[in-house]
Chain A
Amino acid sequence: MTLLATERIKLFTTRSPWWSTVLALGVTVGLATMVGLTHDGPRPLTLTQTQFGTQFGLMVILVMAALAVTTEYRFATIRATFQAIPNRTAALLAKTTVVALLATVLGEIAAFGSWAAAKITATNTDLALTTADDWRRVAGTGLVYGIAAVMAVAVGILVRQSAGAISVLLIWVMLVENLVGLIPRVGADIQEWLPFIAVQRFLGNPGPDAVLGPWASLAYFAGVTAVLLVAALGSAAKRDA
């Protein structure tokens, strides 16, 4: 518990989690509000449409989580951390937990905030959360943000450089995973197994012929993240701080 408290203090005494929160929530809910305000026409607003902005929030979470660890390397506070807590795995796991918890909370606020904003501003819609699938697609955002934060922390530990870690994460998520689909024949099959495509299945409505169901997709995403985190913790324990 002390470790968690330490990391919590460390995270919230810098500015980056605060502007991340403002950006992640502001833009996400803002976009949903715009969608709600501008929506008209015969077809009612869908749940999917209210959640468009959560994609943006996900990027903010990736950046915030990566920075939480790379700034420690940049300002060499990582040495102070490892001096105070020589068990590096415990120290880094505490950090991961705090960042993941914050990300989860932000995800839930962003998702339900977006849903509520669209529901209030749009006419001609009910947007009731009736089925289990509906609930998954809104409440699931928190889980995705939480796991994504863990992945970003892992990449941050491995790369140790802010610019490098952010570039790798963002270019991978926004460009590489999409471009893979363009490769003829094999591309689409490979794409099914990419982690953030799995996230899209979890937050969407995958058809019955999808390679994995929604919850299995989330488990797969968590699995990939766990492998990265183990690799990161292993390398941090071995190398010089």
Chain B
Amino acid sequence: MSLVAAERIKLFSTRSPWWCALVAIALPIGFAALLASQGGDEVPLTVGTTQAANGLGRAVIMVMAALAITTEYRFGTIRSTFQATPNRVSALLAKTAVVTTLAAVIGELVAFGSWAVCRWIKPEADLALDTADDWRSVAGVGLVFALTAVLALGVGILVRQTAGAVALLLVYSQLVEGLVTLIPRIGDDIHQWLPFFAADQFIGNDASGQPPRDLPLSPWGYLAYFAVIAVAVLAVAIITANRRDA
């Protein structure tokens, strides 16, 4: 627990996590407010559409998580960390716990904040969380944010460079997965096994507007799949960090 407390102090004693948290929460909720306030009656507002912009928050969380570890390498504090805690696995897992928890909290704030702001702007819309699916697509955002943070930390530990890690994460999640679908014949089959596609399937927010396809996994199956990939990347990263010179 003292390691977790140390990492908590470390994270919150610099400005960037605060800024990231603020932007990660404000951007999607602001967007949701725009969606609700500009929408006429022709397009009904659903629980799913209130979550249309949470990808913005997730992108910022990726940046925050990557920064949390890459700045340690950049400023050399990783050496102090490993001096104080030579068991690198524990030190890095403590950091993961802190960053992941923060990401989960931000995710829930984004999800319920977006949902609440839409309800407030459009009280007449049917936004009650009636079904388990409704709950999954709102409350599930926290889980996705947390696992995204795990993945981003893993990439950050491996790459060690802020610019590289941030660029890699953003370009991969926002562009590369989408480009894969453009490969004829095999593109779609590959795409449905890519991690961020899996994460989107769990929340059930498909912004592409395409008819649902026959997917190999259920929403919870996709979450588990995303979790396995995130944890695998982190595991490889921690093993690497444990072996190499700090």
A contacts B: CB pair < 8 Å: yes
| Residues of chain A at the chain B interface (Cβ within 8 Å) | 31, 34-35, 38-41, 49, 52-53, 55-56, 59-60, 63, 67, 70, 162-163, 166-167, 170-171, 174-176, 179, 182-187
- Chain B contacts for A56, CB-based, 8 A: 171, 175-176, 179
CB of B174 within 8 Å of the partner chain: yes
Interface membership of B143, Cβ < 8 A? no
- 8 extra A-B contacts, CB within 8 A, seeds A59-B175, A163-B16: A40-B184, A55-B179, A59-B171, A162-B162, A163-B163, A166-B163, A167-B63, A174-B170
Q: Which residues of A contact B43 (CB under 8 A)?
A: 184
- Across-interface contacts of A41 in B (CB, < 8 A): 184
Assess whether B39 is interfacial by the CB under 8 Å rule.
Answer: yes
A186 touching B38, Cβ below 8 Å: yes
Residue among A31, A63, A184, A187 facing the most chain B CB atoms (10 A cut-off): A184
- Knowing A171-B60, A175-B59, the reply to whether A38 touches B40 (Cβ < 8 A) is no
The segment out of B50-58, B82-90, B113-121 that lies at the interface is: B50-58
* Interface residues, chain B, with chain A CB atoms under 8 Å away: 16, 31, 34-35, 38-40, 43, 52-53, 55-56, 59-60, 63, 66-67, 70, 162-163, 166-167, 170-171, 174-176, 179, 182-187, 207
Contact of B179 among A53, A63, A184 (CB under 8 A): A53
3 tightest Cβ-Cβ pairs between the two chains A and B: A174-B174, A184-B39, A170-B170
Minimum CB–CB distance for A80 against chain B, Å = 21
Q: Please state if B179 and A163 are interface contacts (CB–CB under 8 Å).
A: no
Question: When A34-B183, A35-B183, A183-B38 are in contact, do A171 and B56 touch as well, CB less than 8 Å?
Answer: yes
Docked pose: A56 CA to B170 CA in angstroms: 11
Q: How far is the CB of B226 from chain A (nearest CB, A)?
A: 19
Nearest CB in chain B: distance from A46 CB, A? 11
- Least distance between A121 CB and chain B CB atoms (Å): 12
B207: chain A residues at CB < 8 Å are 182
- Specify the chain A residue showing the minimal Cβ separation from B167: A63
CA gap between A39 and B59 in the complex, in Å: 33
CB pair B35–A171 under 8 Å, yes or no, is no
Contact of A39 among B16, B53, B70, B184 (CB under 8 A): B184
A183 to B52, CA, bound (A): 10
Q: Which residues of B contact A38 (CB under 8 A)?
A: 183-187
In the complex, what residues of A have CB within 8 A of residue B184's CB?
A: 35, 38-41, 49
CB distance from B59 to the nearest CB of A (A): 5
- Can you list 7 A-B contacts (CB < 8 A)? A34-B183, A38-B183, A52-B182, A56-B175, A167-B63, A179-B52, A183-B38
Question: B56 contacts A40, CB within 8 Å?
Answer: no
Whether A167 pairs with B179 at a CB distance below 8 angstroms is no
B174 touches A183 (CB 8 A): no
Q: Is the CB of A185 within 8 A of B38?
A: yes
State A97–B35 Cα separation when bound (angstroms).
40
CB distance from B183 to the nearest CB of A (A): 5
Question: In the docked arrangement, what's the CA distance between A113 and B7, Å?
Answer: 48
Q: How far is the CA of A204 from the CA of B66 in the complex (A)?
A: 35
Closest chain-A Cβ to B34's Cβ sits at a distance in Å of 5
A56 and B39 CA atoms in complex are apart in Å by 33
B162 contacts A174, CB within 8 Å? Answer: no
Q: In the bound complex, what is the Cα–Cα distance between A167 and B59 (angstroms)?
A: 9
Q: Which residue of chain A lies nearest to B45 when distances are taken between CB atoms in the complex?
A: A184
Contact of B163 among A31, A35, A162, A171 (CB under 8 A): A162
User: A182 near B52 (CB under 8 angstroms)?
Assistant: yes
> What residues of B have a CB within 8 angstroms of the CB of A55 in the complex?
175, 179
Bound-state CA distance A174–B172 (Å) is 11
The answer to whether A166 and B170 touch across the interface, beta carbons within 8 angstroms, is yes
Which chain A residue has the least Cβ–Cβ distance from B16?
Answer: A163
**Which has the most chain A C-beta neighbours within 10 Å: B34, B35, B166, B171?**
B171
